[in-house]
Amino acid sequence: MSLERPVRIAYNRPHLTGREFTYIREAVDAGQLAGNGAFTRRCQGWLEAKLGCPQALLTHSCTGALEMAALLLDLQAGDEVIMPSFTFVSTANAFVLRGARPVFVDVRPDTLNIDERLIEAAITPRTKAIVPVHYAGVACEMDTIEAIARRHGVVVIEDAAQGLMAAYRGRPLGSIGHIAAISFHETKNVIAGEGGALVVNEARFTERAEILWEKGTNRSQFRRNEVDRYTWLDIGSSFLPGELTAAFLWAQLESAEEITARRLALWRQYHARAESLEALGVVRPTIPPYASHNAHLFYLLLPVAASRADVLDELNHQGVNAIFHYVPLHDSVGGLRYGRVASRMDVTDDVSRRLIRLPLWIGMSEDDVAEVVNCVANAVAKRI
């Protein structure tokens, strides 16, 4: 057994702006702790302005927002939803909970996003939606995806969990699909511990979204004095976070530009330094010209010949907390049970085995970045 050295460079450290406690105190002093209060409305207003969308609703998680999106589609058992297999389980689970079937297609080798050229062949009369996932905050090829959706009359739901402050051809991620879901989980760029938002870009969904959000009632209309009492109208659940979470999130949203700029600076240092790894067969991420990303994460693809488990062991032994990412959904226990594969999965199978994510958080120094890249170089050189 090897003696692990302590973690010197953690994978992630939540960044605080310094105003979180001030706003939480304000929320406590104001005496409203449940959801849909002043901080919730401030956060929602910020998102609506930033994304240019008619409606943003804070949720307790991106998972909850995806579940709301699935509810809005009125899915029936056997309906199909096209998505990548290289994603987080919630992308699929939200639809499986409604009895729908995730239909998996492969990803592009450059961005690891859904391969838009494979989507049309996966469409059947049961297809109700396409769910592009903007991996690492790098945009999917949305023009093509929107054109396919229009041709077949299906809805586009962006899984923009990682996409806040990133854009596709100048359009903010989360503002492009009919509906989008954003995450404020501790591991994302802008955080609330657990938290998320449903973004509605289509007027036909807004009224019902608010009702689903408030447990199936028109309580929001009542609070705006639009009706004289509120009552049960539809299915729904409790999707909203409390005001303490919204107060924390408000401090973060106010600093979203600065957070993104500081992460991008670290990402660029990584990208420049990692050029030296290409001689070892290590591949750096590609940002296509249509995408302006938010430096959500920095990953590398190891050479086929290097054992990823050994490289990660070596890095962690050196105190550099690098980690792998998604285990593909299509051949997982849940994927086999609930989903269907609609294309080759060569790229998904290949990259999911070779990918490592490197530490990236505000507070890391340029020396830390250099050190991580050196450790990767040594670990890979030893293993090939």
Ligand X SMILES: *Cc1c(COP(=O)(O)O)cnc(C)c1O
Applying CB under 6 A, which residues contact ligand X?
61-63, 87-88, 90-91, 133, 159, 161-162, 183, 185, 196
Nearest approach in angstroms of CB 155 to ligand X is 17
With respect to ligand X, which residue has the nearer C-beta, 138 or 379?
138
Q: With respect to ligand X, which residue has the nearer C-beta, 141 or 159?
A: 159
SS3 358: strand
Name the minimum Å distance from CB 348 to ligand X. Answer: 14
Laid out side by side, the sheet with 171-172 consists of 171-172, 167-168, 291-292
In whole angstroms, how close is the CB of 233 to ligand X at the nearest point? Answer: 26
Residue among 84 and 311 whose Cβ is closer to ligand X = 84
Q: The tokens 């070892």 sit on which residue?
A: 280
Assess contact for 256 and 263: CB atoms under 8 A.
no
Q: What's the min distance (Å) between Cβ of 91 and ligand X? A: 5
For residue 273, the minimal CB distance to ligand X (Å) is 25
Range list of H helices, 239-365: 243-254, 256-273, 308-317, 333-338, 346-354
Question: d(Cα 166, Cα 248) in Å, to the nearest integer?
Answer: 22
Residue closer to ligand X by CB (options 183, 316) is: 183
Residue among 89 and 261 whose Cβ is closer to ligand X: 89
Q: State the minimum distance, in angstroms, from the CB of residue 358 to ligand X.
A: 17
Of the pair 62, 282, the CB lying nearest ligand X is at 62
Q: How far apart are CA 192 and CA 262, in angstroms?
A: 19
Nearer to ligand X, 173 or 345 (CB): 173
DSSP 364: B
Task: Give the Cα separation of 198 and 68 in Å (integer).
Answer: 8
Work out how close the CB of 24 gets to ligand X at its nearest, in angstroms, rounded to a whole number.
20
Alpha helices in 165-255 (DSSP H): 203-213, 219-223, 243-254
- Evaluated on CA atoms 327, 333, 334, 339, the torsion sign reads positive
- Cβ–Cβ under 8 Å, residues 293 and 299: no
Give me the least distance between CB of 242 and ligand X, in Å please. 16
Distance CA 349, CA 371 (A): 30
Cβ atoms of 118 and 130 within 8 Å: the answer is no
Residue in 22, 19, 12 with CA at minimum distance from that of residue 363: 12
For the chain, what percentages of helix, strand and coil (3-state, to nearest 5) are there?
Answer: 40, 15, 40
User: Which residue's CB is nearer to ligand X, number 63 or number 269?
Assistant: 63
